[in-house]
Structure 1
């Protein structure tokens, strides 16, 4: 590598660290193919690899100020991608576990009391979904009922994947709080009787 190329590379990182979006696009163009190949070798899923590349560069943009201290960007890129991949695997495991629990929950015959409690929870969740702002509601339905990926939801709604994540986080928080509030109130009423 020549002295000039090294300087261009350092200058590029400095520009990105300062918030220069065109420099960031250049950084993405330079490294996204390399990163995709690296990730794909490990997970062998085109869609998941593309999603992880996007997540890695999104994380780099969020923490761009730290690029000033980076001496070896390739190593930095691999460390960030490894961390993102580990987080993605943990999330997939949690989702798989929830799915398994949901299937077991659906298949096990329940005593009448548990069945009524579950029906009540489901109806309260439906109420909560109806009270969501329209965009959050649409994102939640596409993601949870139609089982679309964040990227597919983003394309369907013509918004960014990060906006989908934000909508779903807010929706989950609202639904969880709504369910807890309603169930607590109902349990209190039943206990008082």
Structure 2
């Protein structure tokens, strides 16, 4: 990963940690398709792939520290359930 991309990703992660939902959606759209493609060769099941991608991002969101001073962070995965 190039330096600018690393910086952009770090900034994006910091925004997510502060409760920025649009930064999380951007991360999902940036990495979700790559993860989905990777899982295609492993699972051979579209349903399993979708569940694994969603679970990955749910766990990712849960791993961020909660900033009690920011607005609440509500996880809505595009095309999925909460």
Superposition RMSD in Å: 1.7
TM alignment of 1:60-79, pairs within 5 A: 60-65=60-65
Deviations 1:100-131 (A, max 9, x none): xxxxxxxxxxxxxxxxxxxxxxxxxxxxxxxx
Cα distance in 2 for partners of 1:6, 1:58 equals 22
Q: Partners of 2:63 and 2:14 in 1: how far apart?
A: 13
Hey, what's the Cα distance between the residues in 2 that align with 1:9 and 1:55?
20
The 5 A counterparts of 1:44-63 are 44-63=44-63
State the SS of the aligned residue for 2:4.
helix
- Counting helix residues as a fraction of each chain, which structure ranks higher? 1
Q: C-alpha distance in 2, partners of 1:18/1:32? A: 21
Q: Where in structure 2 are there 5+ consecutive unaligned residues?
A: 66-79
Runs of 4+ residues over 4 Å off in structure 1: none
- CA drift of 1:40 comes to 1.8
Aligned-partner Cα distance in 1 for 2:43–2:28:
21
Give CA deviations for 1:38-75 in whole Å, capped at 9, x if unaligned.
2221111011101111111111111123xxxxxxxxxx
Shift of 1:19: 1.8
Aligned length: 68
Q: Which gives a bigger RCO, structure 1 or 2 (Cα 8 Å, sep 6+)? A: 2
Residue ranges of structure 1 left out of the alignment (5+ in a row): 66-159, 163-193
| Correspondence for 2:12 | 12
Q: Which has the larger radius of gyration?
A: 1
| Cα displacement (A) at 1:5 | 2.4
CA distance in 1, matches of 2:5, 2:23: 15
Partner in structure 1 of residue 75 of structure 2 = none
1:7-57 Cα distance to aligned partner (Å, 9 max, x none) = 111101111122211000000011001111122211110111011111111
Aligned partners of 2:17, 2:26: CA distance in 1, in Å?
13
